[in-house]
Amino acid sequence: MQPLQGLRVVDLSQNLAGPTCGQILADLGAEVIKVEPPTGDPARAWGPPFWGNDAALFLTANRGKRSLAVDLKTPEGQEIVAALAAEADVFIQAFRSGVVERLGLGDEALRERHPGLIYVTVSAFGTEGPRKDDPGYDPLMQAYSGLMSMTGHPDAPPARVGASVIDTTTGMWAALGVLAALRERDQTGRGRHVVVSLLDSALALVSYKLTGYLAEGRVPGPMGSAFGSIAPYEAFPTLDGSVMIAAANDGIFQRLCTALDLPELAEDERYRTNPSRVAQREPLVAAVSARTRTLSSAELMQRLGAHAVPFAPIHDIAQVAEDAQVAATGMVRALPHPDIDDYRDVSFPVRFDGERPAATEPPPSRGGSSAEILAELGYDADAVAALLRAGVVRGSEEG
């Protein structure tokens, strides 16, 4: 399943958001050239943990790409990338405002030369407004968007979500924008400037919280594992840990009461509907917790499963890696790697007619395809050697 086969993507982005977009396109069959500075994408050093020579974070967003390490501060480097863009279908960049224009690689310059180019800008705060020129990273946007104010437990310091959800969703939105623009180009022959930002993605993540505030004027705060609009819908204590329970409707709540031998809760008028249960959350959670504390996690999950009550154990990442259901999904797969014998990665999370896109190449070494890509652009061996000697480009063999 390679619907984007034949498309070429030039990916100048670094860190996580833009590279995630590029990897999605690579997983769908596009040829993606990762353009990075001679020192490499900074994300290569964002560790530990490391696997081989690169940080795990870098490895998760760069499979299926070839790497060209080039110095964009030089006219020769700018010329190389402009030539790549002239033959590309998609161009991804995440420089701060004004930088890419100074390099001669801005949207207007490249699309004037190549009107069919899909040009992607990944920014922090967007391209307008008082903070449009400010840098940004995932945790900054978690703070700025209000997400951090709602994460963690009451009366505790602000907490960051444990994964880079804003970076990764920004990459997903960018890929969705590319696919829409490609579809339009099929009809018009013209490209588009696709703009995504970490702030926009963060606001999309908190959309129902923000809408709720606009509706009622109530400021949501942290609730631990609970959810403000549904009850009971949180982690409950057991003899040996905790189990997440999601009684998301009235029928499930009735089955939960049966599973826990709590008929008095099922018959209590205070708990007849979800809005009433939310209003009486504190006594309800106390009553359910008093029962779950008498059971082991295994016994509680057995009871819940027998009565079709949605639940989940609270896994750590080691347990996730060894979980039978995770193994059955095929999401964690072996991928041949030239330097790592037991290399595995997390696959593309969409199936087509039951099949995932075939595994692509592992993440590239820095500059691993520099000479090859230059040759494809028409540079002869002497010209490539001269660029390498001058430090305009760098190959992986240079260390």
Active-site annotation, residues: 167
Answer for the pair 359, 60: CB distance below 8 angstroms, yes or no.
no
For residue 181 the two structure tokens come to 């623009």
Cβ contact 263:257 at 8 Å:
yes
Task: Please calculate the CA angle 297-300-304 and round it to the nearest 5 degrees.
Answer: 135
Q: How far apart are CA 338 and CA 54, in angstroms?
A: 13
Q: Euclidean distance between the first and final Cα of the chain, in Å?
A: 36
At 293, list the tokens.
């504390």
* Alpha carbons 393 and 389: distance in angstroms, whole number: 8
Instruction: Find, among 38, 33, 40, 32, the residue nearest to 58 by Cα.
Output: 40
Q: Is the peptide bond before 363 cis (omega within 30 degrees of 0)?
A: no
d(CA 27, CA 64) in angstroms, rounded, equals 7
Strand pairing report for 393-394 and 65-70: antiparallel
Q: What's the count of helices (H) and strands (E) in the chain, helices before strands? A: 18, 14
Closest CA to 83 of 179, 31, 8: 8
Could you give the CA distance from residue 299 to residue 294 in angstroms, rounded to a whole number?
10
| Nearest-angstrom CA–CA distance, 310 and 304 | 7
Q: Which amino acid, one-letter code, is at 90?
A: V
- What the block records as the tokens of 225 is 């594992």
Contact between residue 71 and residue 38 where contact means Cβ atoms under 8 Å apart: yes
Type of residue found at 72:
L
Helix, strand or coil, per DSSP, at residue 236? strand
Ramachandran sector of residue 140 (left: φ over 0; alpha: ψ -120 to 50; beta: rest): alpha
What tokens appear for 45 in the block? Answer: 């050093």
